Chains A and B, each alone.
Chain A
Amino acid sequence: MSTATDLAIETSGLVKVFGTNRAVDGIDLRVPTGTVYGVLGPNGAGKTTAVKMLATLLRPDGGEARVFGKDVVKDADTVRGRVSLTGQYASVDEDLTGTENLVLLGRLLGHTRPAARERSAQLLEAFGLSEAADRQVKNYSGGMRRRIDIAASILNTPDLLFLDEPTTGLDPRSRNQVWDIVRAVVSQGTTVLLTTQYLDEADQLASRIAVIDHGKVIAEGTKGALKASVGSGSVHVRLREPEQRPHAERVLAAALNADVQLDPDPVALTATVNGHGTDLGAAEQAARALAELARAGITVDNFGLGQPSLDEVFLALTDSRATPANVTHTQDTAEETKGTTA
Chain B
Amino acid sequence: MSTVATTKENQAADALAFEAPKADELAALLVGQVRPPRPSALSASLTFGWRAMLKIKHVPEQLFDVTAFPIMMVLMYTYLFGGALAGSVSAYIQFLLPGILVMSVVMITMYTGVSVNTDIEKGVFDRFRTLPIWRPAPMVGYLLGDVVRYLIASAVMLTVGIAIGYRPDGGVVGVLAGVALLLVFSFAFSWIWTMFGLMLRSEKSVMGVSMMVIFPLTFLSNVFVDPRTMPGWLQAFVNNSPVTHLSTAVRELMAGNWPAADIAWSLGWSAVFVLVFGAVTMRLYNRK
Which residues of A are in contact with B by a Cβ distance under 8 Å?
Answer: 52, 55-57, 59, 77-78, 80-81, 83-85, 87-96, 100, 104-105, 107-112, 115, 119, 122-123, 125-128, 130-131, 136, 147, 152, 154, 156-157, 177, 180-181, 183-185, 187-188, 190
Q: Nearest-CB distance from A325 to chain B (Å)?
A: 36
Q: Which residues of B contact A111 (CB under 8 A)?
A: 36
**Is B39 a contact of A108 with CB atoms below 8 Å?**
yes
Q: Nearest-CB distance from A113 to chain B (Å)?
A: 10
Using CB atoms, name the residue of chain B closest to A174: B19
**Is A108 a contact of B26 with CB atoms below 8 Å?**
no
Q: Which residues of B contact A77 (CB under 8 A)?
A: 132
Q: Nearest-CB distance from A98 to chain B (Å)?
A: 12
Q: Which residues of A contact B33 (CB under 8 A)?
A: 156-157
Which residues of B are in contact with A by a Cβ distance under 8 Å?
Answer: 17-27, 29-31, 33, 35-39, 43-44, 47-48, 50-51, 54-55, 58-59, 122-124, 126-133, 137, 287
**Is A181 a contact of B26 with CB atoms below 8 Å?**
yes
Known interface pairs A90-B123, A94-B122. Does A180 touch B18 (Cβ–Cβ under 8 Å)?
no
Most chain A CB within a 10 A radius of its CB, from B30, B35, B37, B129: B30
Q: Nearest-CB distance from B285 to chain A (Å)?
A: 11
**Is A80 a contact of B58 with CB atoms below 8 Å?**
no
Q: Which residues of A contact B55 (CB under 8 A)?
A: 93, 95-96
Using CB atoms, name the residue of chain A closest to B28: A126
Q: Nearest-CB distance from A68 to chain B (Å)?
A: 14
**Is A131 a contact of B29 with CB atoms below 8 Å?**
no
Using CB atoms, name the residue of chain B closest to A125: B25
Known interface pairs A110-B35, A157-B33. Does A80 touch B25 (Cβ–Cβ under 8 Å)?
no
Known interface pairs A107-B39, A126-B22. Does A136 touch B127 (Cβ–Cβ under 8 Å)?
no
**Is B130 a contact of A128 with CB atoms below 8 Å?**
no
**Is A84 a contact of B130 with CB atoms below 8 Å?**
yes
> Which one of A56, A127, A177, A180 contacts B130 once the chains associate, using CB atoms below 8 Å?
A56
Further 19 A-B residue pairs, CB within 8 A, beyond A126-B25, A181-B21: A57-B130, A59-B287, A87-B127, A88-B123, A93-B55, A96-B54, A108-B133, A109-B39, A110-B35, A110-B37, A122-B25, A128-B18, A128-B19, A131-B18, A156-B35, A177-B20, A180-B21, A184-B23, A185-B30
Q: Which residues of B contact A80 (CB under 8 A)?
A: 130-132
Q: Which residues of B contact A110 (CB under 8 A)?
A: 35-39
Q: Which residues of B contact A181 (CB under 8 A)?
A: 21, 23, 26
Known interface pairs A108-B44, A128-B18. Does A55 touch B27 (Cβ–Cβ under 8 Å)?
no
Q: Which residues of A contact B43 (CB under 8 A)?
A: 107
Q: Nearest-CB distance from B16 to chain A (Å)?
A: 9
> Which one of A81, A91, A128, A185 contacts B127 once the chains associate, using CB atoms below 8 Å?
A91
Whole-angstrom distance between the alpha carbons of A265 and B252 in the complex?
83
> Which one of A52, A107, A108, A188 contacts B30 once the chains associate, using CB atoms below 8 Å?
A188
Using CB atoms, name the residue of chain B closest to A101: B124
Q: Nearest-CB distance from B58 to chain A (Å)?
A: 5
Using CB atoms, name the residue of chain A closest to B55: A95
Q: Nearest-CB distance from A93 to chain B (Å)?
A: 5
Q: Nearest-CB distance from A125 to chain B (Å)?
A: 7
Q: Nearest-CB distance from A165 to chain B (Å)?
A: 12
